[in-house]
Amino acid sequence: MKIKNKYRLIFTLCILTLSSVQPIYSSFIDNSTKINILMPAPFADSTKDLIDQFNKENKGDINIKVIRGPRETESVSDLAISSLLLGNSPFDILMIDITWLPKYAAAGWLAPMDRYISKRDWDSLAVGAKLGNSYKQNLYRWPMTSDMGLLFWRKDLMENPPTTPIELIRIAKNLVEEGKVSYGYVWQGRQYEGLSCVFLEVINGFGGEWINESSEVKLSSKESIQAVSWLKNLIETGITPRAVTNFSENEALQAFKSGEAALMRNWPYAWAELQKESSIVKGKIGVSTMVAVEGEQPTSTLGSWGLSILSSSKNKEVAYEVISYLTSLNSQKELFVNYGYTPTNSQIFNDKKLREAFPVLVELQKALEQTKPRPEIPLYAQVSDVLQRQLSEVFTNDKNIKEAMLKAERNTNQILLSAGESK
Amino acid sequence: MIILFLLPAGILILLVFGVPLIRYSWLSMHAASVVTGLDNIPNGGANWIRLLNDMRFWKDAWQTVRFASFSVSLEVFLAILIALLLHQKWKGRGILRSISLLPWALPTTVMALGWRWIFNTPYGPIEKIINFMGLNPLNILSNPKLTWLSTVLGDVWKTTPFLALILLAGLQTIPDDLYEAFRLEGGKPFQAFLKISLPLLKPYLFLGVIFRLAQAFGVFDLIQVMTGGGPAGSTESLALYAYLNAMRFLDFGYSATIMLASFILLVCACALSWVLIYQSKNIYRVYNS
């Protein structure tokens, strides 16, 4: 019995020693620089080939490790913020959404990238892709894929997509009345960030603004009221199902994919989804920009994901090397061809071969030229939250439009005032 | 001597509950947000003044109280019925006891996502049935008058088994002799329930209600997944509001203030349930004398 115990002790000690030596040993032979990137799950999957290739080419020097974050945008932010708050974040690079940038930069989490970027790099970006990467004159992010609101339309049901709000109502209403579709137009009406994106396009389309360049909130303007009334009217006349007030991108896509809707507002990812075999409307889809009243430019809300270096990273130079690889011309081409990610480099949009193979590229370029970012302030999340709540009140609770928008404007002003952003 | 024995537990409780509470109280007296560059700057109770004037806080407080009181009372009612049923001796009782725990064992986010699809318009089964009967769609998840009820339903479905389990344990501690003697004296079964089971279940009932109230007051995952606080903010709970302030708005001072305020509300609710469960007779007596 005693002997048995002795052996057991020796065995345990051996294991313990080995396990403590192993990491030292492995770090001794592998002295490559490790770069950790946090990405939302879909991006982690689609960049896997590119990253494997990079790791193979740079074996012994640089090793990229991708941490597969959650699927949903805001959950990725929660994860990143938790790690940043605790200090000593394990990540070197974050893949960030356009709306997080001012907040993260103001919190001091991001390292400025200006010194890495040459004028040539900057000039290579498409017009819309240049927006939303800076905060207080410093560049904090390099865009990886553009994203902008698009109007998807059914080629088998109409000759041309509607270009004005009135035209959209006329076309959609007719199609519903003729019984060709159950819904005329589906969009994102749930109380969440997507609703703010929808609204930005509509208010701009009516010639109004959410927050103008001199930080004035314009939510109770005539144009804003017209925009809200138009959206509400869509629901009341049945052109848009009442259920839209709980639709996010997925539900809208579901309705459109199953052929139940004639028009849909969504992001470019939907294009790839609609080309799949499971899509009833495959090959019958056109892409256009959001409607605008005559004399006004149509607007696409700018989405876009990019890569930022964390200020806590010990290998910023190497991290930039990784970013420039992942956003290189080749990487962008690969991601566009295989996964439908909208490029940021203007060369790709002008590539004749690609334009022939993917006619949608023309429409994407057009939309990217008309993009508008959401208000670029650290308190954007609050400001957007206020708007979402009031719009949801109007759509689901029959709140008076004027009253709701006045309240949204007042609350937004309070928030801006508290941050010293208002004049 | 006895203090010595209580010390380890005392220290543990202090570390787990005391430290966060002190930290939150401290934080609630500071401006600590993205505006201050995440530095903590004392602001002399400005967070509390803001809270008192924040209509959204009061609306959420009311919604949280409404959610907690509706779901906990429904759960108590159903749990008593279920506990009584599972306490009876009949064939297959063992299997049913295990099955009845299943909802409680499921992760909340998973079942919340399930409910979201069940209540979905137009694809969910409930709307399909309503459509089949030729009625107008209810739009359950986008109708502020209905949505909160659907969250109550989700919560009741999930947590009733937990309460039933506690009550079942309570029922098993009541000796059978009491019921027998009561029957010999000519008592009816329902009277036995009122005169024996219910009074003797009180400690268990109180314990279960306290547990459930604490959970229901802090409801977050269910709401976040099912509705995200919408439509029109009609299902937003205090925990969700505090979360938004901390994680989305990066305003930690105000978030701590909301959490503390909701803690105070919870203590009040627990005190109220103690009065209701233990002192109902005394109140009744005083009131009628």
Tell me how far the alpha carbon of residue A418 is from its chain's centroid: 27
Which position has the higher pLDDT, B43 or A3? B43
Q: Measured between alpha carbons, how far is residue B255 from residues A263, A379, A401, A420, B30 in Å?
A: 41, 15, 30, 20, 11
Average pLDDT over every residue of B11-36: 93
Closest chain B residue to the Cα of A72, Cα to Cα: B225
Predicted local confidence at residue A23, as pLDDT:
52
Predicted local confidence at residue A423, as pLDDT:
46
User: Using a CB-CB distance cutoff of 8 angstroms, which residues of chain A are in contact with residue B244?
Assistant: 381, 385
CB-closest option in A108, A192, A393 to B232: A393
Average pLDDT, chain B: 92
Residue A90 · residue A62 · CB < 8 Å: no
Predicted local confidence at residue A176, as pLDDT:
95
SS3 A94: strand
pLDDT tens per residue across span B84-134: 999 988 888 889 898 989 999 999 999 999 999 999 888 899 999 998 998
**For B71-89, b where at least 16 C-beta lie within 10 A, e where not — what string?**
bbeebbebbbebbeebbee
Q: Do B139 and A243 touch (CB under 8 A)?
A: yes
DSSP codes of every residue in B123-165: TSHHHHHHHHTTPPP--GGG-HHHHHHHHHHHHHHHHHHHHHH
CATH code of the domain occupying B29-288? 1.10.3720.10
Tell whether A206 and A158 lie within a shared domain.
Answer: yes
Tell whether A351 and A404 lie within a shared domain.
Answer: no
Return the domain boundaries, chain B: 29-288
The separation between the first and the last C-alpha atoms of chain A, rounded to the nearest angstrom, is 83
Q: Of the candidates B172, B192, B36, B156, which has an alpha carbon nearest to the alpha carbon of residue B93?
A: B172
Interface check for B231 against chain A (CB to CB < 8 A): the answer is yes
Q: Do A108 and B37 touch (CB under 8 A)?
A: yes
Half-sphere exposure for B37 (CA within 13 Å, toward CB) = 2
Q: Do A246 and B120 touch (CB under 8 A)?
A: yes
Rg (C-alpha) for chain B, rounded Å, is 23
Closest chain B residue to the Cα of A378, Cα to Cα: B34
Tell whether A287 and A313 lie within a shared domain.
Answer: no
Residue A11 within a domain: no
Write the CATH number for A89: 3.40.190.10
Closest Cα in chain A, distance from residue B229 (Å): 8
Predicted local confidence at residue A4, as pLDDT:
63
Tell whether A250 and A336 lie within a shared domain.
Answer: no
Tell whether A209 and A315 lie within a shared domain.
Answer: no
Q: Do B34 and A379 touch (CB under 8 A)?
A: yes
**A291 DSSP assignment:** P
Which residue is associated with the tokens 């006619």?
A359
Count of domains observed in chain A: 2
CB-closest option in A190, A381, A395 to B248: A381
CB-closest option in B35, B122, B230 to A419: B35
- Over its length of 423 residues, how does chain A's per-residue pLDDT go in tens digits? 455 667 766 766 666 565 555 555 555 567 889 999 999 999 999 999 999 999 999 998 999 999 999 988 888 999 999 999 888 889 999 999 999 999 999 999 999 999 999 999 999 999 899 999 999 999 999 999 999 999 999 999 999 999 999 999 999 999 999 999 999 999 999 999 999 999 999 999 999 999 998 889 999 999 999 999 999 999 999 999 999 998 999 899 999 999 999 999 999 999 988 988 989 999 999 999 999 999 999 999 999 999 999 999 999 999 999 999 999 999 999 999 998 899 999 999 999 999 999 989 999 999 999 999 999 999 999 999 999 999 999 999 889 999 999 999 999 999 998 877 654
Average pLDDT over every residue of B207-223: 94
Most A CBs within 10 A among B35, B49, B142, B234, hence the mutation to make, goes to B142
Q: What are the start-end ranges of the E strands in A44-192? A: 62-68, 93-97, 134-135, 138-139, 142-145, 150-154, 183-186
Predicted local confidence at residue A21, as pLDDT:
54
User: Using a CB-CB distance cutoff of 8 angstroms, which residues of chain B are in contact with residue A397?
Assistant: 144, 231-232, 234
Interface check for B36 against chain A (CB to CB < 8 A): the answer is no
**A148 DSSP assignment:** B
Tell whether A296 and A388 lie within a shared domain.
Answer: yes
Tell whether A279 and A308 lie within a shared domain.
Answer: no
Predicted local confidence at residue A1, as pLDDT:
47
Predicted local confidence at residue A17, as pLDDT:
61
Closest Cα in chain A, distance from residue B139 (Å): 6
Tell whether A34 and A115 lie within a shared domain.
Answer: yes
As a whole number of angstroms, the distance between CA A77 and CA B242 comes to 16
CB-closest option in A103, A392, A419 to B231: A392
Predicted local confidence at residue A398, as pLDDT:
84
Residue A214 within a domain: yes
What is the domain extent for residue A323? 30-147+303-361
Predicted local confidence at residue B280, as pLDDT:
78
As a whole number of angstroms, the distance between CA A267 and CA A340 comes to 11
Tell whether A180 and A287 lie within a shared domain.
Answer: yes
Interface check for B187 against chain A (CB to CB < 8 A): the answer is no
Q: Report ipTM (2 d.p.).
A: 0.85
Interface check for B40 against chain A (CB to CB < 8 A): the answer is no
Closest Cα in chain A, distance from residue B21 (Å): 19
pLDDT tens per residue across span B49-98: 999 999 999 999 999 999 999 999 999 999 999 999 999 888 888 898 98
